[in-house]
Amino acid sequence: MQKMFEQWLNTWRAVADPAQWQKLAAQANPGHTESAGSAPVNPFAALGGFPGFPGFPGFPGVNGGNSGGGRSGQLPFAMPAMPNIPTAAIPPQRLQELQSSFSRDAGELIKQASEQSIDLATLKDRRFSAPAWQSAPGFAFAAAWYVLNARYLQELAEAVEGDHKTRERIRFAVQQWAAAASPSNYIALNPDAQKALIESRGESLQKGMMNLLADMQRGKIRQSDESGFVVGKNIATTKGSVVFENDLLQLIQYTPHTATVRERPLLIVPPCINKFYILDLQPEGSLVGHALDAGHQVFMISWRNGDASIAHKTWDNYIDEGVLTPIDVVKQISGREQINTLGFCVGGTMLATALAVLAARGEHPVASMTLLTAMLDFSDTGVLDVFIDEQHVQTREQTIGGKNGNPPALMRGVEFANTFSYLRPNDLVWNYVVDNYLKGRTPQAFDLLYWNSDSTNLPGPMFVWYLRNTYLENRLRNPGDLTSCGERVDLSKIDVPTFLYGSREDHIVPWTAAYASAPLLTGPQTFVLGASGHIAGVINPPSKNKRSFWLLDNADKTLPEDPDAWFEGATEHPGSWWPTWTQWLDGHAGKKVKPKANLGSDDFPVIEPAPGRYVLQRDQ
């Protein structure tokens, strides 16, 4: 234990010592030499060379990986494939200021340690809030020393000069390293874990190892007690039937909740990365149920979890078979010339592309469009931008995209899940490493995290087209620059009323990126900004009476060009935005009519009860 503690301290000393940066950078990048005098202003290239990152801190002989694939036998918390850390320059004067500040604070901390007067409450870090961290001077010092050094490293990252992408990559790398190197992640440095080990007489360690081995087989960390949920039993339980299916999807028609319904039905296009039931969790948190209660007819696409039989499918297949076909089926079943549509996240990108294809053909089967945390303009892709460059996209095209005669393969859903988890490493990775493995606990049952772990594979050709043409080259926003299903895609030809929603703390689709869809579209627009993040902001049912949302209260249907100008004029409203949306949808759904006696139609008879077979296919 003493040896590990000394190694850990020496690692953090290297972070603070500019004299070590060049040496560590050389260890991390063998064969690469820094120009003379450049090392003091480039501390970050050394991160990859520090011992223990991103390996598992606490079980000897178990090492981390950087594959990101997370398949059987690999650590479930292996970092996703990281781009190379670029060369960074920090202004010498700012670097000197930071070093002076660090030396002063380090001296004060050492003084407190010698007097045994370290107060961890001042750190305001919940990882070290348990009384056990104050039980011995060594534990208190380790926590305080870590926080000091992590803050210093983050300040160095903020001081970097360079282009936006370089700065973001360095910030992300520092965030990941600092999160992984916390003493709370080490069984030899975590007094809580040691206390559990002693009190359980070793049982916590045994359970922790069993949890680790089980997660290695799954390829990802268990974030929720999955035994607490069964799809179709206590989650995704809204009544309905599958009325159509093809290689990519099943189409669910839900049973009406009201004696009369709006004549124009609503078709929901959920993201194809995860299962559809994020929009139909438990009854009190179901957006589907809310729309049904409001008197709307609802259809939902349930995407297939990709396997080898559809590994060859392309983006055009998903637009044609995955969106255009369901639109036509819903029209036929309902007998209406126009329907309403909703796209969530990448489902919104696909929906808008499909409607632009239809507009190019002179067809206008949609009366309104709702886009939830969706991007059409990929100028600002948030933290995901750190992973994407030409080299990364080319590699994906070669390995799974079927390029140059290579066989197409699948983009594994577990890779998405692990990457998204590392966008919030302390909340979605390391706290589970500590609880599940160091303390041998079983996570609580949580429906949203259960859904989060139920990821979906995608065909490689489809994924790499999306990656290159949106995230890398941002071509969807340019009228006529892309062709889909044989048509030039021009989003400005979509002239239907559009409801745009963004989440204020969204780290996947920044709310300003959701707002940036507005100038690309034509027709009256409403924008709503919800509190919280990418998922929690969307799934905010009125029954919870939580959070708030922002909305322009005037009747002007033209949004300001500047999102900040919109926010300055918006009014904050308490509670859920869902009633505002259904009230808006009422205005585009036609008059109330009596619902048909049976679901489906003669041409599209019921295949099986909702939620259907496709959603039950898990990628274990």
**Active-site annotation, residues:** 345
- Selection from 181, 159, 182 nearest residue 171 by Cα: 159
- 313/247 Cα distance (integer angstroms): 10
For residue 605, give Cα distances in angstroms to 24, 333, 550, 598.
Answer: 66, 10, 42, 10
Task: Name residue 534's beta-bridge partners.
Answer: none
Q: CB of 513 within 8 A of CB of 488?
A: no
Residues 318 and 248: their CA atoms lie apart, in Å, by 7
Nearest-angstrom CA–CA distance, 547 and 65: 39
CB proximity list for 538: less than 8 A, separation 6 or greater: 278, 287, 344, 372, 373, 501, 503, 530
Tell me how many degrees the CA angle 245-251-256 measures, rounded to the nearest 5.
145
SS3 613: coil
The alpha-helical segments, DSSP class H, found in 182-337 are: 191-199, 203-218, 287-293, 315-319, 325-334
484 Cβ contact list (under 8 Å, min separation 6): 315, 316, 319, 353, 356, 357
| 255: its two tokens | 């049973």
Which is it for strands 298-303 and 249-254: parallel, antiparallel or unpaired?
antiparallel
- DSSP-derived 3-state class of residue 196: helix
Residue 71 near residue 414, CB atoms below 8 Å: yes
Q: How far is CA 282 from CA 235, 332, 373, 451, 617, in A?
A: 5, 30, 21, 11, 19
The alpha carbon of 568 is separated from its chain's Cα centroid by a whole number of angstroms, namely 28
Helical (H) or strand (E) element with 355: helix 346-360
Secondary structure (3-state) at 242: strand
Give the integer Cα–Cα distance in Å for 588 and 265.
Answer: 10
Helix (H) or strand (E) holding 580: helix 578-586
How is 415-472 classified by DSSP, letter by letter? HHHHHHHTTSHIIIIIHHIIIIIIS-PPPPP-HHHHHHHSB--EEHHHHHHHIIIIII
- How do beta strands 483-484 and 498-503 pair? unpaired
CA distances from residue 399 to 392, 416, 460, 477, 608 in whole angstroms, order as listed: 11, 16, 8, 28, 37
Cα 438 to Cα 127: distance, rounded to the nearest angstrom: 14
- Six token digits for residue 188: 């030899």
DSSP assigned state of 519: G
Question: In the numeric block, which tokens belong to residue 215?
Answer: 């997660």
SS3 253: strand
Q: Which of helix, strand or coil describes residue 483? A: strand
